[in-house]
Amino acid sequence: MATLPRVSVVIPCFNTERYIAATLRAVLAQAGAALEVIVVDDGSTDGSAALVEREFPQVRLIRRSNAGVAAARNAGIEAATGDWVAFCDADDIWLPGKLAAQFDTMAAAPGCRMSYTAWHVWVSAEPEPEPTLLQRLAAEADDPGRWRGATGWLYPELLLDCVVWTSTVLMQRSLLSEIGSFDTGLRIGEDYDLWLRASRVTRIERVMRPLALYRQHPGSITRSAPRDNYRGRVVQRALDTWGLAGPDGRLADAAAVRTELAGSWSQFAYTQLQAGQRAAARRSARAALRVQPGHWPGWKLLLRSWLPRGGRTT
């Protein structure tokens, strides 16, 4: 009988008492791997940690002071003993067969050390997914083209967009030892930065089926205003380090990368302008124009930053 691969599942947790039990049940139900599940409680002030300790004795719980999701994931990685590491946020849901499908996909790509799956964006405040949603996704799972996405040597694609979602990732622990862990200096985009680094040394294969639910609700971090243009800084750092060429020789479209990078700065400028941070918005708009002098949204936002409060351009 073949030995099952050993997978350490790292789950950072901060005040997710309402959702974490459903997340853990979905993770623990996975077949095709010997699981080590590690919950890193990042200084929760609700009953999250107590719930895990009380209801899931088979789960390893690490309690630590609040230091952010990157530091929490890193603590889980340091504690992991499996040959593989997977990530799941404490309010997301894995669907049946996720890990098995990833191992099958990587087995068909010799040398592959990381994979991810397609996912469904799930807008809900309910802990458990509705049975009708799961039935619909199962019926649509094999729809050709619906769940396609970037796969293989992904560096050029990643320069244009973070096409990999953290709660679907499965990667060799030795890969993390090689490229380093999450950058704790990034409040947002720490995952994007890590996938870019991984894309320099391994193929990243996509399972073309929806095998996870990405929860969106009012408490999601992605709905809050960022403190910095993390996306722009992550992409610029990659460009400064590696340029446009992927390890397989493919080049990212330089004009498209400039447009995306300028867009990240103009979006950030818009957020700052909405918050009344006019001088900061002006600096961000200028950053967009340095990347792409003809970027019209940047010019528009620069003008708005000088107009009297409430003034608008057309």
Q: How many domains does the chain have?
A: 2
Q: Is residue 314 part of a domain?
A: no
Q: Do 212 and 241 belong to one domain? A: no
Q: What is the pLDDT of residue 1?
A: 52
Q: Examine the domain organization and report whether 78 and 177 are in the same domain.
A: yes
Whether residues 177 and 240 fall in one domain: no
71 and 155 co-located in one domain? yes
- The whole domain housing 146 covers 6-217
> For residue 312, is it within any domain?
no
pLDDT for 310: 54
User: pLDDT tens string for the chain (314 positions)?
Assistant: 568 999 999 999 999 999 999 999 999 999 999 999 999 999 999 999 999 999 999 999 999 999 999 999 999 999 999 999 999 999 999 999 999 999 999 999 999 999 999 999 999 999 999 999 999 999 999 887 899 999 999 999 999 999 999 999 999 999 999 999 999 999 889 999 999 999 999 999 999 999 999 999 755 544 445 789 999 999 999 999 999 999 999 999 999 999 999 999 999 999 999 888 999 999 999 999 999 999 999 999 999 999 876 555 44
pLDDT score at 217:
78
User: Does 192 share its domain with 249?
Assistant: no
Q: Is residue 225 part of a domain?
A: no
Quick check: is 313 in a domain? no
Phi and psi for 175 in degrees, rounded to 5? -65, -40
- Domain boundary among the residues 166, 185, 217 is at 217
Regarding whether 147 and 284 lie in a shared domain, the answer is: no
In a domain, 190, yes or no: yes
Q: Is residue 173 part of a domain?
A: yes
Residues 27 and 97 in one domain: yes
Asked whether residue 69 is assigned to any structural domain, the reply reads yes
Q: Answer yes or no: do 150 and 24 share one domain.
A: yes
Q: Which residues pair with 121 in a beta bridge?
A: 214
How far, CA to CA in Å, does 128 sit from each of 26, 35, 49, 108, 119?
10, 22, 19, 33, 16
Nearest alpha-carbon partner for 216 in 93, 99, 35 = 93
CA dist 220 to 16, 162, 195, 279, Å? 11, 18, 21, 28
Q: What is the CATH number of the domain that holds 48?
A: 3.90.550.10
249 and 181 fall within a common domain: no
Q: Which pairs count as long-range contacts for 132-138, CB under 8 Å and 24+ apart, including other chains?
A: 134/95, 137/95, 137/210
Same domain for 105 and 14: yes
Q: Is residue 1 part of a domain?
A: no
* Pair 173, 132 in one domain: yes
Last residue of a domain, one of 217, 244, 278: 217
127 and 244 in one domain? no
